[in-house]
Amino acid sequence: MRVTVSRKAHFNAAHRLYRKDWSDEQNEVIFGKCNNPNYHGHNYEIIASVTGEINKDTGYVIDVKFLKNIIKEEVEEAFDHKNLNLDVKEFKILNPTAENIVVVIYNKIKEKLDPKLDLEVTLYETPRNFVTYSGK
Ligand code: NI
Protein backbone atom coordinates (compact mmCIF):
# COMPACT_ATOMS: atom_id res chain seq x y z
CA MET A 1 0.00 0.00 0.00
CA ARG A 2 1.53 3.26 -1.10
CA VAL A 3 0.31 6.23 0.89
CA THR A 4 1.12 9.95 0.61
CA VAL A 5 2.01 11.92 3.73
CA SER A 6 1.97 15.72 3.40
CA ARG A 7 3.26 18.58 5.50
CA LYS A 8 2.48 22.26 5.00
CA ALA A 9 4.90 25.05 5.83
CA HIS A 10 5.29 28.75 5.31
CA PHE A 11 7.94 31.39 4.77
CA ASN A 12 8.05 35.10 3.94
CA ALA A 13 10.70 36.26 1.52
CA ALA A 14 11.57 39.05 -0.87
CA HIS A 15 12.75 38.69 -4.43
CA ARG A 16 13.30 40.46 -7.71
CA LEU A 17 12.98 38.83 -11.11
CA TYR A 18 15.49 40.17 -13.62
CA ARG A 19 18.42 39.26 -15.77
CA LYS A 20 21.55 41.35 -15.54
CA ASP A 21 22.34 40.63 -19.17
CA TRP A 22 19.01 42.09 -20.37
CA SER A 23 18.19 45.79 -20.82
CA ASP A 24 15.87 47.53 -18.33
CA GLU A 25 13.19 47.61 -21.04
CA GLN A 26 13.42 43.89 -21.72
CA ASN A 27 13.30 43.07 -17.98
CA GLU A 28 10.24 45.30 -17.64
CA VAL A 29 8.46 43.62 -20.55
CA ILE A 30 9.11 40.07 -19.33
CA PHE A 31 8.96 40.46 -15.54
CA GLY A 32 6.71 43.51 -15.06
CA LYS A 33 6.11 44.39 -11.39
CA CYS A 34 8.29 41.50 -10.27
CA ASN A 35 11.27 43.42 -11.72
CA ASN A 36 10.88 46.21 -9.11
CA PRO A 37 14.53 47.20 -8.37
CA ASN A 38 13.81 47.54 -4.63
CA TYR A 39 12.41 43.99 -4.39
CA HIS A 40 8.97 42.91 -3.13
CA GLY A 41 7.73 40.20 -0.80
CA HIS A 42 5.54 37.13 -0.91
CA ASN A 43 3.96 34.93 1.73
CA TYR A 44 5.04 31.59 0.34
CA GLU A 45 3.27 28.40 1.34
CA ILE A 46 4.66 24.96 0.62
CA ILE A 47 3.19 21.49 0.68
CA ALA A 48 5.71 18.65 0.68
CA SER A 49 4.15 15.26 -0.09
CA VAL A 50 6.04 12.04 0.49
CA THR A 51 4.76 8.79 -1.02
CA GLY A 52 5.88 5.30 -0.09
CA GLU A 53 4.98 1.94 1.38
CA ILE A 54 3.64 1.78 4.94
CA ASN A 55 6.33 0.33 7.21
CA LYS A 56 4.90 -2.83 8.83
CA ASP A 57 6.57 -2.20 12.18
CA THR A 58 5.77 1.48 12.67
CA GLY A 59 2.69 1.93 10.50
CA TYR A 60 4.37 5.02 9.06
CA VAL A 61 5.42 5.94 5.51
CA ILE A 62 7.65 8.58 7.10
CA ASP A 63 7.71 9.93 10.63
CA VAL A 64 6.05 13.30 10.12
CA LYS A 65 8.30 14.81 12.83
CA PHE A 66 11.28 13.90 10.64
CA LEU A 67 9.66 15.53 7.58
CA LYS A 68 8.76 18.59 9.67
CA ASN A 69 12.39 18.97 10.79
CA ILE A 70 13.78 18.64 7.27
CA ILE A 71 11.42 21.40 6.08
CA LYS A 72 12.31 23.56 9.08
CA GLU A 73 16.05 23.27 8.44
CA GLU A 74 16.14 23.24 4.64
CA VAL A 75 13.31 25.65 3.83
CA GLU A 76 12.14 27.76 6.79
CA GLU A 77 15.55 28.51 8.30
CA ALA A 78 17.13 28.95 4.85
CA PHE A 79 14.48 31.21 3.27
CA ASP A 80 12.25 32.81 5.92
CA HIS A 81 12.65 36.61 6.20
CA LYS A 82 15.40 36.51 3.58
CA ASN A 83 15.98 38.36 0.37
CA LEU A 84 16.19 35.39 -1.97
CA ASN A 85 18.40 37.19 -4.52
CA LEU A 86 20.90 38.50 -1.98
CA ASP A 87 20.81 36.10 0.98
CA VAL A 88 20.29 32.64 -0.51
CA LYS A 89 23.22 31.11 -2.37
CA GLU A 90 21.05 29.06 -4.75
CA PHE A 91 19.64 32.30 -6.22
CA LYS A 92 22.88 34.26 -6.62
CA ILE A 93 22.70 33.51 -10.34
CA LEU A 94 19.35 31.69 -10.63
CA ASN A 95 16.26 33.89 -11.08
CA PRO A 96 13.99 33.25 -8.02
CA THR A 97 10.82 32.53 -9.95
CA ALA A 98 8.28 30.22 -8.29
CA GLU A 99 9.38 27.54 -10.78
CA ASN A 100 13.05 27.79 -9.78
CA ILE A 101 12.25 28.04 -6.06
CA VAL A 102 10.15 24.86 -6.10
CA VAL A 103 12.95 22.94 -7.84
CA VAL A 104 15.52 24.16 -5.27
CA ILE A 105 13.22 23.18 -2.39
CA TYR A 106 12.50 19.78 -3.93
CA ASN A 107 16.23 19.04 -4.32
CA LYS A 108 17.04 20.10 -0.75
CA ILE A 109 14.30 17.92 0.77
CA LYS A 110 14.83 14.94 -1.57
CA GLU A 111 18.48 14.70 -0.58
CA LYS A 112 17.47 14.07 3.05
CA LEU A 113 14.86 11.39 2.34
CA ASP A 114 15.19 7.64 2.00
CA PRO A 115 15.69 7.17 -1.79
CA LYS A 116 12.73 4.73 -1.82
CA LEU A 117 10.34 7.60 -1.04
CA ASP A 118 8.83 9.76 -3.78
CA LEU A 119 8.49 13.49 -3.21
CA GLU A 120 6.26 16.15 -4.70
CA VAL A 121 6.49 19.80 -3.67
CA THR A 122 3.85 22.48 -4.33
CA LEU A 123 4.80 26.11 -3.78
CA TYR A 124 2.18 28.86 -3.52
CA GLU A 125 3.53 32.30 -4.36
CA THR A 126 0.05 33.78 -3.88
CA PRO A 127 -3.16 32.00 -2.86
CA ARG A 128 -4.03 31.69 -6.56
CA ASN A 129 -0.62 31.12 -8.15
CA PHE A 130 1.22 27.90 -7.42
CA VAL A 131 3.70 25.52 -9.01
CA THR A 132 4.40 21.83 -8.49
CA TYR A 133 7.54 19.75 -9.02
CA SER A 134 8.05 16.03 -8.53
CA GLY A 135 11.52 15.52 -9.97
CA LYS A 136 10.51 14.60 -13.50
NI1 NI B 1 7.15 38.29 -7.06
pTM for this entry? 0.95
CATH of 2-14+41-133, one of 3.40.50.300, 3.30.479.10, 3.50.50.60, 3.30.559.10: 3.30.479.10
Catalytic positions, please? 34, 81, 125
DSSP 94: S
- 40 alpha carbon – ligand 1 mean position (Å): 6
Residues with CB under 5 A from ligand 1 (ion): 34
Say how many Å lie between the CA of residue 86 and the centre of ligand 1.
15
What is the per-residue pLDDT for 38?
94
Contact 68/61 with Cβ under 8 angstroms? no
Tens of pLDDT, residue by residue over 86-113, are: 999 999 999 999 999 999 999 999 999 9
The Å distance, Cα 117 to ligand 1 centre, comes to 31
Judge whether 59 and 1 are in contact, CB under 8 Å: no
Give the pLDDT score at 129: 97
User: Domain extents for the chain?
Assistant: 2-14+41-133
- The CB-side HSE value for 129 (13 A sphere, CA atoms) comes to 8
Alpha-carbon gap, residue 34 to 125, rounded angstroms = 12
Residue 60 to residue 66: CA distance in whole angstroms: 11
